[in-house]
A and B are shown apart, each in its own frame.
Chain A
Amino acid sequence: MSTSPRVESAIPGQDANFGTVLSHTPDVMIKFGELYAEFWQQGLISQEIKEMTRIRNARITDCGY
């Protein structure tokens, strides 16, 4: 899977990566961060299990990250 960004960084002088590309939509980036934090830090499933399933999913989908 390609990991070469196809959208330029929204922050001048910084390379394109997940964060700098998502910065094109600041409110989306903020809300995603809040959602992601809630998902990872709260709930009954341990972070270890979440991380294990995240890695497994990444292997299956051939995620470049």
Chain B
Amino acid sequence: MNWLEQEGNAFSDLLKLRPALQKKYVAFLQAIEENDRVGPRIFSLCRARIEQIHLGSSDYLKAVEAEALNQGILDQFSEDEQAALRVAGRIPYQYHQLEDDEVAALKTAFGDAGCVSLLTALAFFDVSCRLNLTFGKEQN
């Protein structure tokens, strides 16, 4: 999942100027990923959704998934994926509208530890997109 190592990732390239910071950032991201409650598919979908919100599209979504998410139609996704995607959709610009029942759905799907892992990941997916926009990745 280490999205820092994507090609063309402007922030990743710049972070190489701070090797110690990069090392600790990578270690932090790996710790998030190495949980036993939230699988890679959930992380990948949520990262792509947040990227789609910021950039207008994401290379990590199938066309049918991207269209469904743009329309707010989630029924092609599993219940766990839907719970995660609803919260992911809030993070970039609707974080104040995050509802208690939406977080409760994450706890039901992934347990408290999984919920914490996922929410932390969502925040840093958002950070990564914003940093890439700041450092030069073009918006579609």
A contact set with B: CB distance below 8 Å = 1, 6-8, 10, 21-22, 24-25, 27-28, 30-32, 34-35, 38-39, 42-43, 61-62
B7-62, CB < 8 A from A: 18, 20-21, 24-25, 27-28, 30-32, 34-35
A8 touches B112 (CB 8 A): yes
A31 touches B107 (CB 8 A): no
B100 within 8 A of A: yes
Q: Which interface class (under 10, 10 to 19, 20 to 34, 35 or more) fits B?
A: 20 to 34
Stretch with Cβ within 8 A of A (4 or more), from B63-71, B74-82, B114-122, B131-139: B114-122
A-B pairs, 6 with minimum CB distance: A31-B28, A24-B113, A31-B31, A6-B103, A35-B24, A27-B31
B24 touches A22 (CB 8 A): no
A-B contact pairs, 27 of them (CB 8 A): A1-B95, A6-B100, A6-B104, A7-B107, A7-B112, A7-B116, A8-B112, A22-B116, A24-B116, A25-B35, A27-B31, A28-B31, A30-B31, A31-B28, A31-B31, A32-B120, A34-B24, A34-B27, A34-B28, A35-B21, A35-B24, A35-B25, A35-B27, A38-B21, A38-B24, A42-B20, A43-B18
A62 touches B96 (CB 8 A): yes
* Given A7-B103, A21-B116, 17 additional A-B pairs, CB 8 A: A6-B100, A6-B104, A8-B112, A24-B116, A25-B113, A25-B116, A25-B120, A27-B34, A28-B35, A28-B116, A28-B117, A28-B120, A31-B28, A32-B28, A35-B28, A42-B20, A42-B21
Q: What is the minimal beta-carbon distance from A19 to any residue of chain B, in angstroms?
A: 12
Residues of B contacting A28 in the complex (Cβ-Cβ under 8 angstroms): 28, 31-32, 35, 116-117, 120
A43 touches B117 (CB 8 A): no
CA distance A35 to B26 in the complex (A): 9
B20 touches A38 (CB 8 A): yes
